[in-house]
Amino acid sequence: MGDFQPPAYRAVHTVARYFPEDCGGIQMRLSELLPLLTRYGISSKIAAAHAQSSSTTYVHKDIEVFRYPAVPQPPAEPNHGAFPHAGFEQFAHWLSEQQAELYHQHQWTPSCGLPHLRYAKQLGLKTIVSIRLPQAICQRQTLMLNGTEPCDGKIDVARCTQCCEPIAQALPATAMHLFAQLPAAMWAQLPLPASLYAPTAIPNQKVAPFRALSTPAFIEARRRSLLEMAEQADRIIMLSELLRDMFIRNGVPKDKLVMVRTGLPEYVPTVTASRRRTEGPLKVVFLGRWNRTKGIHILVDAVERLPESVPIELSIHGVPNDEHYEREVRASISDSSRIRIKPQLQRDSLADQLSQYDVLAAPAQWFDVRPMVVLEGHACKLPVLGSNMGGIPELINDGVDGLLLPPSDPQAWADALAKLACDRAYLEQLQQGIRPVRRMQAEAADMAQVYQSLLGQPSLAAAMSA
| CATH classification at residue 84 | 3.40.50.2000
Distance CA 149, CA 156 (A): 16
In-domain check, residue 345: yes
Does 93 lie in the same domain as 111?
yes
Q: What is the pLDDT of residue 168?
A: 84
Asked whether residue 79 falls in the same domain as residue 20, the answer is yes
Same domain, 297 and 425: yes
Q: Is residue 266 part of a domain?
A: no
Q: Are residues 286 and 427 in the same domain?
A: yes
Asked whether residue 197 is domain-assigned, the answer is no
The enclosing H or E element of 460 equals: helix 460-465
Rounded CA-CA distance 167/250 in Å is: 26
Closest CA to 455 of 215, 128, 184: 128
Percent of the chain with pLDDT over 90: 75
What pLDDT, on a 0 to 100 scale, did the predictor assign at position 82?
78
**Please, are residues 440 and 263 in contact by the beta-carbon 8 Å criterion?**
yes
In the chain, the amino acid numbered 381 is: K
CA atoms within 13 A on the CB side of 397: 12
Over the chain (466 residues), the average pLDDT of each successive run of 10 is 70 97 93 96 97 96 97 82 90 98 96 96 98 94 93 95 87 86 75 76 69 87 94 98 98 98 88 70 97 97 96 96 96 90 90 94 97 96 97 98 97 98 96 96 97 84 54
On whether the CB atoms of residues 229 and 444 are closer than 8 A, the answer is: no
Mark out the alpha helices in 202-240 (DSSP H runs): 208-232
DSSP per position, 120-151: HHHTT-EEEEEE-SGGGT-SSSS-EETTTEE-
Residues 388 and 297 in one domain: yes
pTM: 0.93
Confidence (pLDDT) at 423: 95
Report the alpha-carbon distance of residue 415 to residue 413 in Å, rounded: 5
Give the model's pLDDT for residue 437.
96
Query: Is residue 379 in some structural domain?
Result: yes
Tell me, what's the pLDDT at 227? Answer: 96
Nearest of 154, 88, 97, 157 to residue 125 by alpha carbon: 97
DSSP conformation letters of 103-125 = EEE---BTTBSHHHHHHHHHTT-
Q: Based on the fold, state whether residues 116 and 47 are members of the same structural domain.
A: yes
Q: Are residues 421 and 321 part of one domain? A: yes
What are the strands, taking DSSP E only, across 267-306?
Answer: 282-289
Look up the domain containing 385 and give its range: 282-432
Are 361 and 315 contained in the same domain? yes
Residues 459 and 424 in one domain: no
407 and 357 in one domain?
Answer: yes
> Considering the chain, what is the average pLDDT of its residues?
91
Is residue 166 in a domain? Answer: no
Mark whether 291 and 359 lie in a shared domain: yes
